[in-house]
Amino acid sequence: MNIDKCKEPEIGAMLHAYELGALSEEDTERFEVHLLKCRYCFASVKQFETTAGLLRHDGSVKEEVASVGSETTELSLLRRSLKFLWPERPLVFKPALALLVILALIYPAYLGLSEKGSNCIRPVGSITLLPLRTMMTDTYSLSSGKDLVLSFVFDNAEPNTKYRLTIKDAGGNVIYGDDAFADFDNFQTGRIFVPNSVLRAGRYHLTMEVPKADMLIKGPEYYFEVKP
């Protein structure tokens, strides 16, 4: 018979609970029947007999253990919160630990994003302008802090043609100019990027001039308004 190992580990696990007298009557019977079969557990109980006897019955031991404090004591809010976050359960079931793991996983990603945000990616506001016969304008809010992407549709835009593009403010000052603009996509929409810092509140006028036989003729015009 094997004395190095418990024959029924599931029942053998109750060893110390039995020694302390903490098992229910049913489990006590189960364990005692097990003791009649398992040499390992019998030897363990026999070896620990005196210690277990003292743990169970000795007044000084009882006093020592009682000093740990009982659950019936009212717990403070802080202790209750700590108990909730760090309950007496296996490590994987502790909410505080789960929180820490989540934060540890998220924080590097947050750092990466915030760094990219400051150096590379900035939010933009976009407005799309259509060539209009009226003076109706599209608006853009300066206070948004976003850089402006201006999209403008030019139906007759031709590939590989360079257009002169100018944006002027209400006073006629040029705030943006490009003599060789050719950045139209397949839908004949051109886009330019205007940093927030160069814009002031007011109305703006975007004009395009089309090269024709060594001359520039007036092309479409667009208006937009920047609000404070």
Instruction: Please report, as ranges, the residues that interact with another protein according to CB under 8 A.
Output: 13-24, 27, 29, 32-33, 35-37, 42, 45-46, 48-51, 53-58, 60-62, 64-71, 87-90
Query: With respect to another protein, which residue has the nearer C-beta, 85 or 149?
Result: 85
| Minimum CB distance to another protein smaller for 89 or for 218 | 89
> In the bound complex, what is the minimum distance in angstroms from residue 87's beta carbon to another protein?
5
Closer by beta carbon to another protein, 82 or else 103: 82
What order of strands is seen across the sheet that includes strand 147-153? 124-129, 147-153, 189-194
Rounded CA-CA distance 181/159 in Å is 11
- Closest separation between CB of residue 14 and another protein, Å? 6
Q: Rounded distance, CA 152 to CA 141, Å?
A: 18
| Cα–Cα dist 41/108, whole Å | 51
Buried b (16+ CB within 10 A) or exposed e, 34-73: bbeebebbeebbeeeeeebeebeeeeeeeeeeeeeeeeee
CB of 121 to another protein, least distance (A): 46
Q: How far is the CB of 65 from another protein (least distance, A)?
A: 5
Q: How far apart are CA 137 and CA 139, in angstroms?
A: 6
CA distance 186 to 62: 87
Tell me the closest approach of the beta carbon of residue 58 to another protein, in angstroms: 7
- Residue type present at position 142: L
Pick the closer one to another protein by CB: 8 or 225: 8
Pick 13 or 170: Cβ nearer another protein? 13
